[in-house]
Amino acid sequence: MPRCYDIAIVGGGFVGNTLACALATVPGQIALIEGKPISPANGKSPNRDERSIALALASQKMFDALGVWEQLGLHSIAIKRIHISDQGRFGALRLDSRNYESECFGYMVPAEKLILSLQKHLQGFENIQRVQPYKVSDIESHKDRVVLHGNGESIQAKLLVAADGSQSYIRNKLGISVQENNYHQTAIVGNISIDSDHQFTAYERFTRYGPLTLLPHAGNNCGFIWVLPNHVAAELLARPDEDFLLTMQRAFGYRLGYFSRVGKRFSFPLSLLVSQQRVHQRVVLIGNAAQTLHPIGAQSLNLALRDVVELSETLHSTPGVSDEIHEKLHIYATARQSDIRRTIRLTNLFNFLFTTNDPLLSRTRGMGLALLGAVPIMESYILKQSSGAPSTAARFLPGNSLQSP
Ligand SMILES: Cc1cc2nc3c(=O)[nH]c(=O)nc-3n(C[C@H](O)[C@H](O)[C@H](O)COP(=O)(O)OP(=O)(O)OC[C@H]3O[C@@H](n4cnc5c(N)ncnc54)[C@H](O)[C@@H]3O)c2cc1C
């Protein structure tokens, strides 16, 4: 006999865990299914995610409304300033959150703390069961239910949310095609120590190799994401730490003083993946399973969290996952389309402008930056995109439809 749930969420990453928190007050039983084993409590997992994630203000408000920020906020660093510059060219664009009547543009949070805070929060809900490790290895999709197979047992649910990442097993198994654009780029990610104060500033620097982002961390430390053509990334990854640090220092300059130490480096090959269908019978795709974006501009998770808000509203308005769920899921998918398309266009534009070596276009990039500095409307348009649409998160605030216990 299969174990039966109202909703099964496959994927215990950022998106699956956040959705489970947002659905905690929906009547019914929810399974949160994750293939990887539970990480050891000593924090020494070999799969440790050492990234920090940039959260837009709207995402921070959402975590606050869900009751997760109280813990997570203790580990966060505010981004109060943004500094954009171009190697080999004079001038820089400087944005200060105070000019936008805001204390900050967003927050950096350690990826590991984000997952742990979500998992801890979920422990308070009896209707949510963590099923882990359970690797889904087969799926039957019916008109009225979905049956999952894995680890020698079956799980049945009235609704399945696939939050199983870029290479989504569920998406592939259901034969849902993806539009793929290989950027032929790799992101090298890691942490460095600096010998000056970052002053809560995020730096975006167009280097001759590719765009380099430095993000404020606790103390005199910064996280970096360096987007590079594959062959350059392979060459830089192979270099010893001191060599790598020196190359990055030369490309970035000395506005943050001397770089003194680099931690473990990680690499991520970059592709845009867009699922051609988000809903299939009683299955809905979300997060990286639905769309995986270029990391430039830190849009991807923030976008997925807006999916989470909309989907949880849909499910709150369909208690018990009634028969109208199918129609509701299609309404959900249609409602999300324009935000997703807009965000993909924006990250592609950023990536194109920030990586082109064409002399004419790179001059245009300089002009684009100047224009961005000079025309507040454009600037605020970009900032609105970068910080997420506040109206969506506002619906999560206490007193609105979703509340933490
Ligand atoms: C270098 C880099 C930096 C980034 N920085 C930012 C940032 O600053 N801000 C931002 O908004 N976004 C950022 N992103 C994007 C962000 O990382 C993604 O949006 C986010 O990880 C997507 O989460 P997810 O839960 O959808 O997928 P994942 O994190 O991939 O989680 C999927 C989960 O599903 C599980 N799973 C897979 N298959 C199965 C199966 N068959 N059975 C059971 N479980 C399964 C996996 O084990 C995994 O835990 C960055 C991305 C990169 C590459």
Name the residue of 39, 300, 302, 343 whose CB sits within 8 Å of the most ligand 1 atoms, as the mutation to test its pocket: 300
Among the residue ranges 199-203, 208-212, 311-315, 352-356, the one predicted with the least confidence is 352-356
Structure-token pair, residue 327: 């129609």
Report the nearest-CA residue for atom 33 of ligand 1: 11
Q: What is the pTM of this model?
A: 0.91
Distance 382 CA to ligand 1 centre (A): 24
Cβ distance 183 to 271 under 8 Å?
yes
Give the residue-averaged pLDDT of 177-188.
Answer: 96
- CB within 6 Å of ligand 1 — which residues? 10-16, 33-36, 51, 53-54, 135-136, 163-165, 169, 187, 189, 225, 268, 287-288, 295, 298-302, 304
User: Which ligand 1 atom is the nearest neighbour of the CA of 11?
Assistant: 34
> What is the overall mean pLDDT for the chain?
87
Where are the chain's structural domains? 3-77+109-180+271-357
CA dihedral in degrees (244, 362, 302, 343; nearest 10)? -150
pLDDT tens column, 244-276? 999 999 999 999 999 999 999 999 999 999 999
Name the residue of 14, 79, 119, 137 whose CB sits within 8 Å of the most ligand 1 atoms, as the mutation to test its pocket: 14
Distance 189 CA to ligand 1 centre (A): 15
pLDDT band at residue 324 using 50, 70 and 90 as cut-offs: confident
* Cβ atoms within 10 Å, residue 155: 23
pLDDT at 71 over 60: yes
Q: Residue 348: is it exposed, middle or buried by C-beta count within 10 angstroms (0-12/13-18/19+)?
A: middle
Burial string for 64-94 (b: 16+ CB within 10 Å, else e) reads bbbbbbebbeebbbbbbbbbbbbeeeeeebe
* Residue with the two structure tokens 């009634």: 322
Name the residue of 288, 344, 350, 351 whose CB sits within 8 Å of the most ligand 1 atoms, as the mutation to test its pocket: 288
pLDDT tens column, 116-141? 999 999 998 999 999 999 999 999 99
Q: 3-77+109-180+271-357 has which fold?
A: FAD/NAD(P)-binding domain (3.50.50)
pLDDT at 152 over 80: yes
Structure-token pair, residue 88: 């080999």
Report the nearest-CA residue for atom 2 of ligand 1: 295
Report the nearest-CA residue for atom 11 of ligand 1: 301
What is the sign of the dihedral through the CA atoms of 81, 87, 91 and 93? Answer: negative
Distance 162 CA to ligand 1 centre (A): 12
Report the nearest-CA residue for atom 29 of ligand 1: 13
* Cβ atoms within 10 Å, residue 268: 15
Cβ distance 51 to 109 under 8 Å?
no
**In this predicted structure, what is the pLDDT of residue 95?**
86
- Taking the C-alpha atoms of residue 134 and residue 191, their distance in angstroms, rounded to an integer, is 32
User: Which ligand 1 atom is the nearest neighbour of the CA of 108?
Assistant: 8
Name the residue of 17, 32, 53, 107 whose CB sits within 8 Å of the most ligand 1 atoms, as the mutation to test its pocket: 53
- In 294-375, which residue ranges form alpha helices assigned H by DSSP? 300-316, 325-355, 359-374
**Phi–psi pair at 260, nearest 5 degrees:** -110, -15
Cis amide linkage into residue 133, ω under 30° from 0 = yes
Q: Pick 87 or 78 by higher pLDDT.
A: 78
356 sits in the region (left: phi over 0; alpha: psi -120 to 50; else beta) called beta
